[in-house]
Structure 1
Amino acid sequence: QLPAGKPKIIARPYTSASYDIPPTDTLGSDGNNAFSNDNILRHISSKEDIMKELALLYVRKKLSLSAVGAIAKLIVALGHDIPIDPRTILQTTNTPIRNKSFHHFSLKNGLLQKLKKGMIGSGNLTIKCQINIDGTPVFKTNSVDLWPILCRVVNSLDSSPFVISIFAGKGKPPSLEEYLRPFLTEMIQLQSEGVEFESKCYSVEIISFVCDAPARQFLKVITGHGGYGGCERCSQTGVFDPVYHCMTFPELVDISLRTDDTFRYQ
């Protein structure tokens, strides 16, 4: 319980599988609620309640992390004992992958945000996704790379990409299975069950993966384009050019193209 005589913080009801917080229709002394126009309000009476409401405000009001931290400092100034680090308040956790950092956000939540913006074409009940995976250095002065998994809904009115998962560490993710598993598990589930929004069920379809050559090599676990047998389209071995120090694939006719079977069992 909060110490006696200290102001109570009022916010809208919140339900969670981890918290059983009963609503109340009691207003503050001024009869207003700064965070909601709802008539059903409740008094916050514990440190956990304050943290949960701050997390809720962060999502609903699209606050920045610095804003959450500033609000937390004001609450602490009033005499309440809560963390001032927004990461602690939001309970942001990273999953280590062999001493690296990895975080899976949510594919479904990102798709729901795009559905709220509207879809191209009336009666369109298919969410068409482009998936992009690529690595990029964070700074020029160190070796930390970011490997985000991005999604772009091509038939949404807002087709800007959003992050599904992200890896941070030196070089590529050391385990392809651990890197892709959360995304693949969620995608398989969404393709099986669909996404429900405003009493409609939308199917989810991947139309393409957009990756450069090094990323394709990493994802397919194949020889790079600079190695022998590195062509993704045909089965020719290739010829190394000692003058230009590069691999060439000079055969242009009567080439045996790769098939799904030859690729899988090569």
Structure 2
Amino acid sequence: MECVHFNLRESLSEQLKRYPTEMIERVSTLELSFNIDGLPIFKSSRSHLWPILCAFHLNPISVFPVTLTLGPTKLKDLDFAEEAINDIQELLDNGLDGKKIRIRCFVCDAPARAMVKKIKQYSGYFGCDKCTQKGTWVSGQVTYPEVDNFTLRTNEAFRAEMTIRQENETAPVSPFLRLPLDMIQQFPIDYMHQACLGVMKKLITEWVRGDRKVRLSAGQINEVTQRLLSLRNAIPNCFARKPRNLEDIDRWKATELRQFAVYTGKIVLKCILSDQLYDHFMAFSVALSLLLCPTLAREHNRYSKELMQYFIEKTKELYGDHFLVYNIHSMVHLSEEAMAFGSLDACSAFIFDNYLAKLKRLVRSGRKPLVQLVKRLTEMSTSPLSVVASKSKTKRPNNAFTLAEGKC
């Protein structure tokens, strides 16, 4: 394994210089989020880049690497994170330039979260890191049929369990336990991986090539595709991607799946999907839409939770017991995440995923990729951050704006 660590205090100081002085003077507490995930950088080899990324929650949000680790396969331990953990602890104790440091969360997908916390993977019988529900073995996989008959995990119980494990030396414990973190709440469920790439993609795949009772006909799939393509001219530039063919679902990115779940799916599936399946999808879509809006996530938090519970209960009836895998089950916990952080976007991996894509593009050849990354990141670190003011446009679809009072 090759590893490069950037001192976190020095990196934060450099990042602060990129912001206007008056903005920094108004801030008394600097809020940070971290992300740990694996990234295959070449299609022709098994080399994986495992970066620890940090996000600075100012406007605009700045993402930068703390540690970069490159190896021939996926990581099996957390030795690469030791220096980053020490830097975080030092900043929490001493602050930065007279400002307090606060950690918002550690954002990881389910496998990385299990690795970081040193707990069972999501495929285990007690694979949910938010509740103690025991899974049921159905059709070769663990499923979670209950929607309310479970006990939520707590930081105190988690740390007590890890202490017993450490004393008995039955298994290694996470080095992140040294930090003053809530090991349950500050490791949120990431809706990018679990709601978009997990649930939404699974539903579309069932409609396209699933069981006969839920599968759409070739004509219906073509009709949905034509509706999606007809919306391309109505999608404004604030969306990263335009709608595309439904049969390309295996290549859809997370932003496309989010767009379908929250915006376009409601329109293109109407009167094509059966009433039962459409109402079931709408429960998921409306609940997700509520939890993505900071004001609605608080005002209608209980309602969104009830919608998700209804969505999971009906999933068993419509798609079968085998469909209730961990991603479906985790939807019942999303309302708590939105309440804790303000909205699901406040604790999602989208900003980190964008940065990972930039990192991948910085590698131009297979010769010393880590050296290439470090050199190019060093060159980029001195450039100032710029906020480009959006210009008013009169041509569709970019001729609509949200005003300060919330009117469109």
* TM > 0.5 fold call: yes
Q: Which structure would you say has the larger RCO, counting Cα contacts within 8 Å and 6 or more residues apart?
A: 2
Aligned to 2:45: 142
Cα distance 1:211–1:118, how it changes in 2: closer, same or farther (>3 A)? same
Aligned to 1:184: 85
- Aligned partners of 1:138 and 1:145 also within 8 Å: yes
Aligned to 2:151: 256
Structure 1 residue 109 and structure 2 residue 10: aligned?
yes
Structure number with the higher strand fraction is: 1
Deviation at 1:253, TM superposition (A): 2.5
How far apart in 2 are the matches of 1:211 and 1:259?
19
How far apart in 1 are the matches of 2:29 and 2:157?
32
Specify the SS of the correspondent of 2:17: helix
| 1:210-241 alpha-carbon deviations (Å, 9 max, x no partner) | 11111101101111111111011111220121
How far apart in 2 are the matches of 1:189 and 1:106?
11
How far apart in 2 are the matches of 1:247 and 1:124?
46
Structure 1 residue 159 and structure 2 residue 61: aligned?
yes
Query: What is the Cα-based RMSD across aligned positions, in Å?
Result: 1.8
Aligned length: 159
TM-score by length of structure 2 reads 0.37
Letter aligned with residue 223 of structure 1: K
Instruction: Map 1:1-266 onto structure 2 (within 5 A).
Output: 100-118=1-19, 120=23, 122-155=25-58, 157-176=59-78, 178-196=79-97, 201-242=98-139, 245-264=140-159, 265=161
Specify the SS of the correspondent of 2:32: strand
Aligned to 1:12: none
Gap regions ≥5 residues in structure 1:
1-99
- Aligned partners of 2:5 and 2:67 also within 8 Å: yes
How far apart in 2 are the matches of 1:159 and 1:113?
14
How far apart in 2 are the matches of 1:253 and 1:194?
41
How far apart in 2 are the matches of 1:253 and 1:161?
37
- Aligned partners of 1:167 and 1:173 also within 8 Å: no
Letter aligned with residue 164 of structure 1: V
Deviation at 1:158, TM superposition (A): 4.2
TM-score by length of structure 1 reads 0.56
Worse overlay, 113-122 or 219-228 = 113-122
Specify the SS of the correspondent of 1:148: strand
- Aligned partners of 1:117 and 1:158 also within 8 Å: no
Letter aligned with residue 224 of structure 1: Q
Letter aligned with residue 174 of structure 1: K
Specify the SS of the correspondent of 1:195: coil
Deviation at 1:122, TM superposition (A): 4.9
Higher Cα radius of gyration: 1
Deviation at 1:133, TM superposition (A): 0.7
**Structure 1 consecutive aligned stretches of length 4 or more whose deviation exceeds 6 Å:** none
Aligned to 1:64: none
Worse overlay, 224-233 or 164-173 = 164-173
Cα distance 1:210–1:118, how it changes in 2: closer, same or farther (>3 A)? same
Letter aligned with residue 37 of structure 2: D
Aligned to 2:322: none
Letter aligned with residue 136 of structure 2: V
How far apart in 2 are the matches of 1:121 and 1:185?
25
How far apart in 2 are the matches of 1:141 and 1:222?
31
| 1:67-125 alpha-carbon deviations (Å, 9 max, x no partner) | xxxxxxxxxxxxxxxxxxxxxxxxxxxxxxxxx11111121122112211226475212
- Aligned partners of 2:16 and 2:24 also within 8 Å: no
How far apart in 1 are the matches of 2:27 and 2:156?
35
